[in-house]
Structure 1
Amino acid sequence: MINHLGGSVPIELGSLTKLVGLYFGQNNLRGKLLSSLGNFTSLKFLGVASNNIEGDIPDDIARLTQIVDLELSMNNLSCVFPPAIYNLSLEDLSISFNSFFGSLRPDFGNLVPNTRFLYLEGNYFTGAIPKTPPNISNLQVVAMEYNKLIGSIPSSFGKVRNLQLLELYHNSLGSHSSGDHEFLEYLTNCTKLRTLSVAENRLGGGGDLPTSIANLSVNLIHLSLGKTTSLETFLMTLGIS
């Protein structure tokens, strides 16, 4: 609920050590996240999305060993992917539309093993997409659009059997070569996939799409490939021209 609360997060909150849920979303809070948040060792939900929180994420967050839902989206947070978040019990991680930067660790998937919903879009992440997300066995949503990611789209996404949404558009993925579409063949294993969006990248060299695209999930309701091939070629690939 929007209450238009202003000012900074009150330091007195640090004494409420038995809190299980804390939500300050959609207000006008400013300042930094308090290191005293680490005192809430019973906390399972922390939501401060849609405020004006700035700075980095304090290392004390690592003490929140019971937390399953962390929502920090739409603030002014700025740092590399917070090491304090690794190895928590998070199922839902949302840090979208901030100013996080730098590359994700190659072993990223091993460090957030319980995650089901991963929202990293609208930041300044660079480098390649880690090839370890398949180690996150329950992963359902991956949103990494509007970053500065490069390299290929990992074929290992095809091992994420519960994947329902994969949004990677508006990055710099691919090399304008025909091999850029190889990941589509592996995604045919993701039978629950409903949304796939990879437009506005550097995918494809103007050749045909792999015929395996016709074998994508029957549950797919949104497919956005961008200017990777002609409409005629696309329809022929699907066998409907």
Structure 2
Amino acid sequence: IVKMGFRFNFLGGTIPAEIGMLTKVAAMDLSSNTLSGVIPSTIGLMTNLETLFLDTNRLWGAIPNDLSRLTNLTLFSINDNFMGGALPEDLGNLTELALLGVHKNSIGGSIPTGIGNMKKLRRFTCYDNELSGKIPSEMGGASLLGEFNAYSNAFTGTLPTEIGLLTSLW
């Protein structure tokens, strides 16, 4: 199996830890189901994964730190769930990432400074969460960023001057 797509079904229960055994899978879409529970840390074993869509389920807990092991990941979206915790600090290891979608959750903490390492990031949506603190100046390193939607959070401080480096924003 190289692609695994189950979008728009009625799959329930949890994502089994054994999913990590699917090391050859490059694309996985489990969006728009009724999956619940936490994302198993074994997902970090799926090192060939390039796209991972888990939107519109009932997933909760923190995004596992093991996700940062998926260095081939280009698209990651977990919008519209019940995710909490903070964004993993090691998220910046995902240097191939073009899409990072985490909006409509309960994610707290701050935006990791490592996001500036994501030189290929084009879209980052984190609105409708509980993010706080300052927008990191390192965001300016994500120079291809075309969309950055962060409304309905609890950010403070001022916009960093490095935001001016994001000339692809629209």
Q: State the match for 2:111 in structure 1.
A: 104
What one-letter code is carried by the residue in structure 2 that aligns with 1:55? Answer: G
Do the aligned partners of 2:131 and 2:155 also contact (CA within 8 Å) in 1?
yes
How far apart are the structure 2 equivalents of 1:73 and 1:57? Answer: 12
Deviates more, 1:146-155 or 1:39-48: 146-155
How far apart are the structure 2 equivalents of 1:102 and 1:62? Answer: 17
Q: What 5-or-longer segments of structure 2 have no aligned partner?
A: 1-6
How far apart are the structure 1 equivalents of 2:89 and 2:114? Answer: 10
Tell me, what secondary structure is at the counterpart of 2:97? coil
Question: Is 1:93 paired with 2:62?
Answer: no
Relative distance call for 1:59 and 1:132 in structure 2 (3 A) is: closer
- 1:1-241 equivalent positions in 2, closer than 5 A: 1-88=7-94, 89-105=96-112, 107-164=113-170
Tell me, what secondary structure is at the counterpart of 1:151? coil
Tell me, what secondary structure is at the counterpart of 1:134? helix
Tell me, what secondary structure is at the counterpart of 1:37? helix
What one-letter code is carried by the residue in structure 2 that aligns with 1:92? Answer: L
- For the aligned residues, what is the CA RMSD? 1.5
How far apart are the structure 1 equivalents of 2:93 and 2:52? Answer: 17
Q: What 5-or-longer segments of structure 1 have no aligned partner?
A: 165-241
How far apart are the structure 2 equivalents of 1:47 and 1:69? Answer: 8
Task: Show CA shifts across 1:1-54 (max 9, x none).
Answer: 411211111333222110000000011001110111111110000010110111
How far apart are the structure 1 equivalents of 2:92 and 2:138? Answer: 14
TM-score, normalised to structure 1's length?
0.64
Relative distance call for 1:49 and 1:138 in structure 2 (3 A) is: same
Between structure 1 and structure 2, the one with the greater Rg is 1
How many equivalent pairs are there?
163
Task: Show CA shifts across 1:125-175 (max 9, x none).
Answer: 1111112222111110000000001122233322212111xxxxxxxxxxx
What one-letter code is carried by the residue in structure 2 that aligns with 1:101? Answer: G
Structure 1 residue 103: deviation in Å? Answer: 2.1
TM-score, normalised to structure 2's length?
0.89
* Larger RCO (alpha carbons 8 Å, 6+ apart): 2
